[in-house]
Amino acid sequence: MKVISNQRMFGGEQLRIEHPSESLQCVMRFSVFMPHGLSSQNPVPVLYWLSGLTCSDENFSTKAGAQRVAAELGIALVIADTSPRGAAVPDDDSYDMGQGAGFYVNATQAPWKAHYRMYDYIAHELPQFVATHLPVNANKAISGHSMGGHGALTIAIKNPAQYTSVSAFAPIVNPMACLWGQKALARYLGDDRSEWAQYDSVELIKEHGLSLPLLVDQGTADEFLAEQLLTENLATVLSEKTDADIRFQSGYDHSYYFIATFIEEHIRFHAKYLLA
């Protein structure tokens, strides 16, 4: 592993790390905030963050203001990139396919399938890498925004023993029913819609239920709410017995100003389980 940058923040270290990825067959970067520093002997739990379309690992690091509370509580933040990267990795001219738009799936179709295995990378390879190289303990939670909220939800629903808790900001909850999801799933997975269902939170909860605590914040002024995010479809499939809180925040949009406003509540939500 190669530390590209290391900057002090809130008494801890904000790092960018580069490593070759086996799942993605390319060199990847991720950002991490270590509240007690990289060389600490004090292992801490990790909150994984997955970003949205067009983002890299840097949007959340620079704009969300999450490190303050993570430092206070002693929680590491691992902030992933949103797709495989590099000149050898297939790309697309549109912002919602290819690099920056991996949708956290394992692609099965050409030309994507050689590199676009973001599900494996986030669910398996990255946590393994982090556990091997950074002073963390076994407790993990996961959160994300928009496409990254979709990634956090689907990965947590399918791997409930791996995470203490899951949360999301403005997630794409039902990609099979919106244009962003239909385009990406058709091109990464082919035309068989039964393949798509394994990456659709609403369909996964219908089939498997939800067995870990969930918090979702959705702004009512979000320009993507009605056509792409479909938050009501998630609320509909959650049973009353589920430990899930879906909150509509009046007047908030899809931006990092919305995330910055509520990130403290998300980190404190996860801390109840990560530090238990």
Which residues form the interface with a copy of itself (CB under 8 A)? 7-11, 14, 62-63, 65, 67-68, 219, 221, 251-253, 255-258, 260-261, 264
Query: What is the nearest approach in angstroms of a copy of itself to the Cβ of residue 17?
Result: 16
CB contact at 8 A, 184 and 101: yes
Helix (H, G, I), strand (E, B) or coil at 246: strand
**CB closer to a copy of itself, 120 vs 264:** 264
Active site annotation includes 21: no
Q: Token pair for residue 21? A: 């990825």
Active site annotation includes 254: yes
Query: What is the nearest approach in angstroms of a copy of itself to the Cβ of residue 68?
Result: 7
Between CA 238 and CA 5 the distance in angstroms is 42
**CB closer to a copy of itself, 9 vs 246:** 9
One-letter amino acid for residue 162 of the chain? Q
Active-site residue identified among 143, 222, 266, 270: 222
Active-site residue identified among 146, 165, 167, 201: 146
Query: What is the nearest approach in angstroms of a copy of itself to the Cβ of residue 106?
Result: 33
Task: Report which secondary-structure segment, H or E, holds 31.
Answer: strand 26-34
CB contact at 8 A, 52 and 147: yes
Query: What is the nearest approach in angstroms of a copy of itself to the Cβ of residue 259?
Result: 10
Active-site residue identified among 115, 145, 150, 254: 254
Picking from 171, 207, 167, 200, the residue whose alpha carbon sits closest to that of residue 184 is: 200
- Report DSSP letters for 109-132, one per residue: STTTTTT-BHHHIIIIIHHHHHHH
**CB closer to a copy of itself, 61 vs 231:** 61
**CB closer to a copy of itself, 6 vs 211:** 6
Beta strand 76-79 with 44-50: parallel, antiparallel or unpaired? parallel
Active site annotation includes 146: yes
Active site amino acids: 146, 222, 254
